[in-house]
Amino acid sequence: MTEYAQDPGTPDPSYLTFWRERHLCTLTTPRPDGSPHVVPVGVTYDPEARLARVIASKSSRKVRNVLAAGPEGARVAVCQMAGRRWATLEGRAYVRTEPARITEAERRYAERYERTPSPNPSRVVIEIELTGAMGRG
């Protein structure tokens, strides 16, 4: 198995394939006291836009953590694993409330996870502007 770091905008084909497979992921956000908050989430990866997206309810702790970081965004990571394979995307997260962005995130989620997300009138999307990618596979 090879461990590697790469540009999240130009991933290796096998890395991108792994991110298109259906896997549960984790999102790590910083709490206001600086400690990590790690939760299971569904993540979609859009290398062309250099974004990862996580749909969430606006009242969730992960959303509150990102908002608490202020306008410069929160430094976060999303990770997935399957056996000895793993992949992490890192970047700055921002909470987006625009309907078009939420619809796009829901569409990508439905495509990756092969199910439409349940209706949620308080849904937002955490968009992660990617700065790094690493993994093993």
Residues 63-111 pLDDT 10s? 999 999 999 999 999 999 999 999 999 999 999 999 999 999 999 999 9
Give pLDDT, residue 4. 72
CATH topology of domain 3-136: Pnp Oxidase; Chain A (2.30.110)
Nearest to 40 by CA among 2, 101, 10, 81: 81
Alpha helices in 40-88 (DSSP H): 61-68
Q: What is the tens place of the pLDDT at every residue in 12-56?
A: 899 999 999 999 999 999 999 999 999 999 999 999 999 999 999
What three-state secondary structure class fits 101? helix
How many other C-beta atoms lie within 10 A of the C-beta of residue 44?
24
pLDDT confidence of residue 10: 92
Residue 1 scores a pLDDT above 60: no
